Amino acid sequence: MIELTETINTLPNISGAEEECIKVMQNNENKTIYLHESGIDFGRIRSACAIALHMHQPLIPAGGSDLHTAEIISNLKYMMDNQHIGDNHNAPVFLWCYRRMGEFIPQLMGEGKQPRVMLEYSGTLLHGLRRMGAHDVIDHLKTITCDPHYRRAVEWLGAPWGHAVAPSTPVQDYRLHVQSWQNHFAAIFGLEALSRVRGFSPSEMALPNHPDVAYEFVKTLKDCGFQWVLVQEHSVERPENGSGPEYKHIPHRLICRSSNGESASIIAIIKTQGSDTKLIGQMQPYYEALGLSRHSLGSRRIPPLVTQISDGENGGVMMNEFPPKYMEVIRQSSGTDVPVVNVSEYLEYLFSLGIREDDFPVLQPIMQKPIWDRFKPGGGREKMDRVIEEIKKEDHRFHMEGGSWTNNLSWVRGYENLLGPMEKVSSLFNEKVLKKRISSKEHRYRNALFHLLTSQTSCYRYWGQGLWTDYGREICRRLEEIIKHDF
């Protein structure tokens, strides 16, 4: 396999190797890559749990006093350099959180235990760590990712490079986020490591529910070689009645249909409950799994899987309580009939039993049932839009903003002054760069792409109006200047 350079002209290597990335993903698509070296006797377990750690820091124009000229740096570097402000004193602990699984995994495996963890790092975090000189963090992650002795314990999940929320990100841009994450990950850890990335974790657990956007979301993941996606239980429904999943601890099949009648499906692993770091900080999934037994799927009895994801660094629980609790649970669960596992090795076990994706129960994004009750797929976008507007007038709770960790947070309402510039530069990038087929290997392409993806980071729409929306608007301004000057 070819080796990719991690940084090119100070920019992260986020484009230019798309063909190589998709090739290695597709070559491993139907291969068993985890189960044969797992060491877990899935045939004798009665239940299991899986945990994923979501890690993210945005890039911000804060490397200087003037917003218009400040260098784009990691928010973590800003925190490190300004520890006297607010909660910035947590920066050194955050840095340790990004590194510490690289310490825990070798320690536990040295004890003869069977540690497991799924990791999801945004591209902006990975680039920011490298730029601020946190090379030891990357080195620790490389060890547990690439060393054959440790890699069975760690499963990486794909993510949008700039931590963009899928429901309110233009579909062509979201595809670029997914491809750029793959390109960047391969440049850091190698193409072989990328070939083992099967699952995808959407930022903020945000799943589009507009049929056309949801269809493009799933199609993007499948086209990029992903096998399964993590979904929040409140963001999906059963097609037959619009209710939530009946049994949440088995894999499902997420099917998304478009207004033109196209269909795309992917395996969905359900994350239960809301956004609460205590769930993983106190290893709640393990204790829930202890109370479960095998469940019927057709003619087979399969072990249920309790799956959770949370921020891996935010809050006192994750900073302080998670490390000893994780070590305790791994030591207690290793070799028992309720182990901690990773999702892809679990799925490979199910497939080894002859179970197929078609055997899993079907789900669709929330609030789609009223649409399909009135609209037949294939009727076209214009007719669907009329149906959606009719339902909105009849039911004030109905919306097409998607579902995420919690249903009371909008990524659209109140952010018009940022969404406007975001949509403008997205349109400019599409018109001046993508449609003109500028090579993704060119520096000007990579520079424009870097600013586009960075501008769509969800943080600029999480903290409300103020400095953070200013950051987002400034990066949009810079991208507009880049496109005018270079294209």
pLDDT tier for residue 233 given thresholds of 50, 70 and 90: very high
* Structure confidence at residue 182 (pLDDT): 98
Mean pLDDT across 298-311:
95
Rounded-to-5 percentages of helix, strand, coil across the chain: 50, 15, 35
* Structure confidence at residue 403 (pLDDT): 74
Q: pTM (2 decimals)?
A: 0.95
* Structure confidence at residue 465 (pLDDT): 60
Find the DSSP H helices in 132-256: 135-146, 171-189, 191-194, 211-223
Token pair of 450 as six digits: 């870097």
* Structure confidence at residue 459 (pLDDT): 81
Task: Count other C-beta atoms under 10 Å from residue 252's C-beta.
Answer: 23
Tokens 């109905």 correspond to what residue?
Answer: 398
Q: Where are the beta strands (DSSP E) in 260-413?
A: 263-271, 295-297, 300-302, 305-311, 362-365
Q: Are the beta carbons of 292 and 46 closer than 8 angstroms?
A: yes
Q: Are the beta carbons of 44 and 31 closer than 8 angstroms?
A: no
* Structure confidence at residue 411 (pLDDT): 41
Give CA–CA dist 44/42, Å, rounded.
Answer: 5
Tens digit of each residue's pLDDT (9 = 90 or more) over 102-115 = 999 999 999 999 99
* Structure confidence at residue 463 (pLDDT): 57
Tens digit of each residue's pLDDT (9 = 90 or more) over 361-409 = 999 999 999 999 999 989 999 999 999 999 999 998 999 888 765 554 4
Is 16-364 in CATH node 3.40.50.720? no
Tens digit of each residue's pLDDT (9 = 90 or more) over 408-463 = 444 444 456 667 788 899 999 999 999 999 999 999 999 999 999 999 998 876 55
Mean pLDDT across 305-324:
93
Lowest mean pLDDT among 70-74, 265-269, 270-274: 270-274
Tens digit of each residue's pLDDT (9 = 90 or more) over 88-142 = 999 999 999 999 999 999 999 999 999 999 999 999 999 999 999 999 999 999 9
pLDDT tier for residue 328 given thresholds of 50, 70 and 90: very high
* Structure confidence at residue 292 (pLDDT): 97
Domain spans in the chain, listed from the N-terminal domain onward? 16-364, 412-487
Q: Are the beta carbons of 387 and 367 closer than 8 angstroms?
A: no
